[in-house]
Amino acid sequence: MQDKVLIPMKGEYAYLFKKLEDIGLEVCNYRLDKEISLDEQVNQLKQFKYIVTGGEIWPAELLEKIKGNLKMIVKYGTGVDNIDVDAARELGIAVSNTAGFNSFAVAELTVALILDVARGITRFDNIVKNNGWNSTKGFSLTGKIIGFLGFGSIAGEAAKRLSNFGVKMLAYDKFQNFEKAKQLGVEYVSYDELLDRADIISIHMPLIEETKGIINMTVFKKMKDSAYIINTSRGPIINELDLIEALKNKIIAGAALDVFEVEPLPLENELRQLENAVLTPHVAAATQEAGTAMLTGCVENIIAFEKGNPINIVNR
């Protein structure tokens, strides 16, 4: 009997699936039926040696029930906060990701959101579509200070794209790569200095216990009242209730968010009603090219694991 891989992707990636079939793995391309009982889901999941997953939640209780045949959960993306990686380690289940494979796409949306808050693209689109023609002045990026909270691959790609806009770029990161920063024209500064100086702050931190809710009212009050915050990383890094208050009371000028504490964003969430908030539905990595790159990374991770040379394991 062949070992099985669960990849809930369409047949357009058959050339990638063939790479797994060529090393003796059976690829199953279906999505689990959420309407069936938990016991039935567990019975389905227990048959797989590898599971490729996106944003599905993998708590310790579920991992305990499907352990045994399962050797690795492969994240189709970077953040593994939806997987109990410590529990997986205890159960002998490796967790891998595709960090860096979608950096270009997330960086592109980051820059797009920065341009949107600067020039009011979404706001003006709404005005015209509602039969208006009035306008207010935006601002040029030239001469502005962009601050990156976290300066990994995505922030680096964003910095490359912003370098031609005549901006000054600052970064705060516990793990500093001075050569990379110098090449991109980025200056490392302290956390408080970045909050104090930046006109636009873009968040690029992982969601861990240390960063959950770290962007709160204390942070907003340290920022310029003319500053904007951009988040294409993880929603819970920002305390949303504090953000709503900061936006309503003009403690900061605005925000552009691709991620939220609860997704999909609840209909009653006040962010939906605020004119100084630009919202997108967690689509930073949602390009055809990034999707292909991430799935390629997943396949590479599985092949390497099969050959005894595991790569991109995040819970060693």
Dihedral of CA atoms 62, 63, 67, 72 in degrees, nearest 10, equals 140
User: Can you give the pLDDT at residue 117?
Assistant: 98
Shortest CA distance to 52 belongs to which of 9, 13, 1, 103? 9
User: Can you give the pLDDT at residue 284?
Assistant: 97
> Is the per-residue pLDDT at 104 higher than 90?
yes
DSSP letter at 48 equals E
Enumerate the CATH 3.40.50.720 domain ranges in the chain, comma separated: 3-101+288-306, 103-279
What is the mean predicted confidence (pLDDT) over 156-179? 97
pLDDT, tens digit, 9 for 90 and up, residues 222-261: 999 999 999 999 999 999 999 999 999 999 999 999 999 9
Q: What is the mean pLDDT of the chain?
A: 96
Banded model confidence at residue 212, pLDDT cuts 50, 70, 90: very high
What is the mean predicted confidence (pLDDT) over 120-128? 95
User: Can you give the pLDDT at residue 156?
Assistant: 98
Q: 151, 186 in Cβ contact below 8 A?
A: yes
Radius of gyration of the chain (CA): 21
The residues annotated as belonging to the active site are: 234, 263, 282
Q: 200, 146 in Cβ contact below 8 A?
A: yes
User: Can you give the pLDDT at residue 11?
Assistant: 77
pTM metric for this prediction: 0.93
User: Can you give the pLDDT at residue 75?
Assistant: 97
Distance of CA 142 to the CA centre of its chain: 27
Q: What is the CATH number of domain 103-279?
A: 3.40.50.720
Q: What is the CATH number of domain 3-101+288-306?
A: 3.40.50.720
Percent of the chain's residues with pLDDT above 90: 93
Who contacts 114 (Cβ-Cβ below 8 Å, separation ≥6)? 141, 146, 162, 200, 202, 228, 230, 256
What is the mean predicted confidence (pLDDT) over 31-36? 76
User: Can you give the pLDDT at residue 38?
Assistant: 82
Q: Is 3 helix (H, G, I), strand (E, B) or coil?
A: strand
